[in-house]
Structure formats: structure tokens, C-alpha cells
Chains A and B, each alone.
Chain A
Amino acid sequence: MSENIRFHFDVDGENFTSAGEASVAVKKKLRQLGYPPDVIRKVSIAMYEGEINMVIHADGGTADVEVRDDEIVIVLADHGPGIPNVELAMQEGYSTARDNIRALGFGAGMGLPNMKKYTDDMVIDTEVGVGTTITMKVNL
């Protein structure tokens, strides 16, 4: 059994400018490892959306990526406010982002639906006042 490749990142919630750095790093590494472009694109877009969400809504968190034999697993965990109504949050266009975030080009209510679209499996584990953990899988 070969050891799975793992990446761990702390996502800084204070700094919108640096948001996305973890996704860029993962994209670069997957490229170096020679994974197919469509897989890399799915992983990096889903992770980037999640990273932006953590910075906008949850004051940062952690991102873990594990490359297994048959899938890539991305786990994004935060101690933010949690998502009160996941069904509503999954609707395209629904957003609780404030105007200052929209002015930065985000908060169109496409983040979570887009993460689901680009991954083969997505599970949201959230509790109001405790935090949110999103686990996404992309098949290889």
C-alpha cells in the first residue's frame, strides 16, 4: 500500500487578498503530479469556492486534501457561524454575503451549488454557532 499524498493548509480569515492561495498551491501540485486537467480543474474550482466562503463567512479555517488511488478528497473545516438552512444555501442565487463582499466580485449565491457541481460527492456537516465541515470528493 502506497502512502496517500496529503496537503494541509490554514486559511487566513483576516485577509481577503490571500484567499485562494491554498487552492492555487493544490492546483500547482496536482499538475506536477500529472493528474488530468479536468480533474485538476474540478478540484481547484471547488476548493477555491470553499476557501472564499471560509474567508467571507467563517473567519478562516483549515483545508485538507488527500489524494487516494481512486479519488481526491477535500475537507474544509471552520468554526464559523454554521449554516442555519443548508437546503436554502444550496439554492443558486441565495446568498447572505454583505454588499462589501459583492463589491469584491463574490456573493452571487453560486458558491455551494458550484462546489456540488464540480465534485462527485459533497457532504455538508454544519451546526449553528459551532462551525461547518464540508467534505468533497472528485473521482479519479
Chain B
Amino acid sequence: MKIGKIQELLGAQLLCGEEHLESEVYAACVSDMMSDVLAFVKDQGVLLTGLLNSQVIRTANMMDMVCIVIVRNKVPTEEMVSLAEDSGLVLMRSPLRAYEAAGALYLAGLGREVGDE
């Protein structure tokens, strides 16, 4: 699924990374616990989270993720946005709750075309 499609499905506002909207991603994960993201994420390119601090961006960077969606209409700090920009990540915010956002992406087929365990 293209990142631009994710933005559309989640009614999200793009904060940075416009140049990557045509990039393809194949799976996503939802977590507010960065420890768990570091321990359990394999090849999920998208992180949905309600956590707001710079470690969200660094964690995604470490895991080679390409897109972060901040849920529940929360507003990331300026530092998060500039870190995401520097890291070449897409950062967006959606009014949906994490459960709804994940459901919308799953129903649209994200993460279902590849066998994830």
C-alpha cells in the first residue's frame, strides 16, 4: 500500500515526508510502548502510536520503519517533526483512535497480503 493511501484512509494531516508518499509499505504495528516495538517489530514499515516524544522517531528509525502515524489527533512536538524530517521519515497525525486507524488499514488490506506471525 502506498503511504499516500494511508494518509487518505486515516484522514491524516501530513507533517513531513511528502516526497515519500508514493513509497510502498506492507505491514503496520500499533504500540505506545517503544520497548515492545524494538523487541517485536520485524518488517512493519508503519508505526501507529499515541506516544509523543523524540524516542518515537528514533525507535522507528532504528527499526527501519518509514511512516509514523500519531493517532487521537495529538500534536507532535516541533522537535519530533524536525527529527522525523532529518531521518527521512513520513510523519502524520490522524483524528482516529489507534484501534480505528489499525482497523481501517487492515480492512484496506495492509498487512494481510504478507503472512505475518
Interface set of A (CB-CB < 8 Å, partner B): 16-20, 23-24, 27, 37, 41, 44-45, 48-49, 52, 92, 102, 104-111, 113-114, 117
Q: Which of B36, B62, B79 contacts A108 (CB 8 A)?
A: B36
Interchain pairs with CB closer than 8 A, number: 69
State which residues 56-86 of B face A: CB under 8 Å.
Answer: 56, 58-59, 61-64, 79
Q: Are B33 and A17 in contact (CB under 8 A)?
A: no
* Contact partners of A37 in chain B: CB under 8 A: 64
Interface bin, chain B: 20 to 34
Known pairs A45-B62, A106-B35, A110-B39 / 14 extra A-B pairs, C-beta < 8 Å: A20-B55, A23-B62, A27-B61, A27-B62, A41-B62, A41-B63, A48-B58, A104-B51, A105-B34, A105-B55, A106-B34, A109-B35, A110-B36, A114-B38
Query: Using an 8 Å CB-CB cutoff, how does the interface string of B22-41 with A read, 1 for contact, 0 for none?
Result: 00000000001111101100
* Contact partners of B56 in chain A: CB under 8 A: 105
State how many angstroms separate the Cβ of A18 from the closest Cβ of chain B.
Answer: 8
Interchain CA distance A16-B62 in the complex, whole Å: 17
Interchain CA distance A37-B64 in the complex, whole Å: 9
| Given the contacts A19-B55, A105-B55, A111 and B64 also touching, CB distance less than 8 Å | no
| Given the contacts A17-B79, A108-B33, A110-B36, A41 and B64 also touching, CB distance less than 8 Å | yes
